Amino acid sequence: MAAPPGWTQLRYRWASGTGTWAQARQWLASAPGRRFENRRFGTAEHLLSIVYQGFPEGLIYVMPYLRDQQVALAGTVNQADPVDGVDVADVADTVDGAPVSWRGVRRSAHAPEADILVVGCSRRRALGLPRERSVLLPFRVHMLLDVVGDAETMHRSVSANERRQFARLRREHGWTCEIGTRVDDLRFFYDRMHLPTMATRHGEETRSTDWDIALRALFRRGMVLFVREGGRRVAGVLCRLEDDGRTLRMRLLGVLDGDEAHYRSGAVKAVYYLTMEWAAGNGVTRIDFSGGDPFPGKGVFQFKRRFHPTIAHPADHFGDRRVYVQVARDTAAVRDFLVATPMFTVDDSDRLVATHFFDGVRPPRRSVRADGPGVHASRDVDLDVFLAGLAPPAVPAGGIGRTAAADPVVADPAVSGVPGGESPARQVIGR
């Protein structure tokens, strides 16, 4: 039975609203007496332990990528089979602890039990936690693209090589744009594209939007943009139009039947180019590429940054949330993990900073580009300074302290071949 339309709109505003809605949700999330998630992530042979405490959304938006990095490192350290062929359960363990109060979270920060403590909380609370050997991350980031001029002008916002590649693929596949405004169009997109794509690419960690929200809060205020190839729809995106049609938010994406061949062919890339073209010709002044995790090593971020969007704090309730990462032990596995995991952090003025870790034997991962509009600076954090005061790592023979992090730990084709550009000011610091 479908929910009443008014209830669906309230749910959408609660989940994605700004202003008063965002403030109300944030207050409730941190209300006195609130208990928080408490989960420990371990690895084979206890090489690297991470504890997450805080908002439940952290288990959806923050920990999956950190978990992937942790498991990949555990496989490498143990000389196990390639990660792609290893079940996570075979190399790592997860333990749910009892929900914890904020006082308990503070105790954990002052006396951590794991190698790394990750806390998802409000900005105000995060600023009150110990600063030593810690960094502060945005909970989420948004990627916003200003629409200036016509379609040709928008195409010129990407590199010449990228434009030539897309033009070649477009000729080869004959991609065209179709705008769907009927409910049947949405049903085709949702059932044949979006849901299968989420299942294929994310499995049990799928995070998506239910049908009522997709229909009443997104589609009825927007449309579906399809990419057609050879007379059939092969990819699409559900968009919501706001600000009297001046802002287009790309909300749900999918390819036909979740078939990875449409990713390899470039059809997903065509979704973004054709959306830019449609926006330039229909009075849109800003495209919102939607939210992203604060880890530039993710392939989806590296793909989107090719269009040079502005990276910003979200306007919804996530805008006032932060991720606190504290390191409690100096081990070779911890160092490998940090160097392998570039992050967006925030400085004392709450500006976004691209942060790479390094030490004398582990160079920073330069292959992971994190500069761009909205990023105030880049900094290289010397782990010998950052971890000063902790016992130095012991590196076993043939060991885990190799320069593995100079290359991507979690292989992702979207990380390579990123177009060049000027980087913002780079600093070499602790914290």
Specify whether 109 is located in the same domain as 160.
no
**Residue 113 is assigned to a structural domain of this protein:** yes
Specify whether 152 is located in the same domain as 278.
yes
Angle between helices 332-339 and 63-77 (to 10 degrees): 130
CATH number for the domain spanning 251: value is 3.40.630.30
What's residue 3's pLDDT?
Answer: 62
Specify whether 240 is located in the same domain as 334.
no
Q: Which residue has the higher pLDDT, 53 or 89?
A: 53
Mean pLDDT of 119-141: 97
What's residue 259's pLDDT?
Answer: 95
What's residue 95's pLDDT?
Answer: 87
Specify whether 208 is located in the same domain as 276.
yes
The pLDDT of residue 332 is above 80: yes
**Residue 254 is assigned to a structural domain of this protein:** yes
What's residue 70's pLDDT?
Answer: 92
CA distance 190 to 237: 10
The pLDDT of residue 365 is above 80: yes
**Of the ranges 7-11, 229-233, 252-256, 297-301, which one carries the lowest mean pLDDT score?**
7-11
pLDDT band at 92 (very low <50, low <70, confident <90, very high): low
**Residue 16 is assigned to a structural domain of this protein:** no
C-alpha to C-alpha distances, 428 to 34, 58, 138, 182, 380, nearest whole angstrom: 39, 29, 21, 54, 5
Specify whether 191 is located in the same domain as 134.
no
Mean pLDDT of 397-410: 40
Domain boundary among 232, 262, 284: 284
Domain boundary among 236, 268, 284: 284
If one counts the domains in the chain, the total is: 2
CA distance 257 to 251: 18
**Residue 27 is assigned to a structural domain of this protein:** no
CA distance 256 to 234: 5
CA distance 354 to 339: 13
What one-character DSSP code corresponds to residue 135?
Answer: E
Mean pLDDT of 287-307: 92
Specify whether 124 is located in the same domain as 190.
no
**Residue 322 is assigned to a structural domain of this protein:** yes
Question: CB–CB of 119/322 below 8 Å?
Answer: no
Specify whether 44 is located in the same domain as 160.
no
What's residue 240's pLDDT?
Answer: 97
The pLDDT of residue 144 is above 90: yes
Q: Which two tokens stand for residue 251?
A: 């909300």
pTM of the predicted model, to two decimals? 0.85
**Residue 205 is assigned to a structural domain of this protein:** yes
**Residue 307 is assigned to a structural domain of this protein:** no
Specify whether 280 is located in the same domain as 324.
no
Specify whether 248 is located in the same domain as 363.
no
Question: CB–CB of 288/147 below 8 Å?
Answer: no
Specify whether 326 is located in the same domain as 253.
no
| Full domain range(s) for residue 215 | 148-284
Mean pLDDT of 126-152: 95
Mean pLDDT of 350-371: 95
The pLDDT of residue 187 is above 90: yes
What one-character DSSP code corresponds to residue 100?
Answer: B
Instruction: Work out the number of other CB atoms within 10 angstroms of the CB of residue 176.
Output: 13
The pLDDT of residue 416 is above 80: no
The pLDDT of residue 245 is above 60: yes
pLDDT band at 207 (very low <50, low <70, confident <90, very high): low
Specify whether 278 is located in the same domain as 327.
no
What's residue 167's pLDDT?
Answer: 94
Residue type, 221: R
**Of the ranges 1-10, 220-229, 320-329, 346-355, which one carries the lowest mean pLDDT score?**
1-10
**Residue 6 is assigned to a structural domain of this protein:** no
Specify whether 91 is located in the same domain as 193.
no
C-alpha to C-alpha distances, 135 to 122, 187, 225, 355, 365, nearest whole angstrom: 14, 43, 39, 9, 18
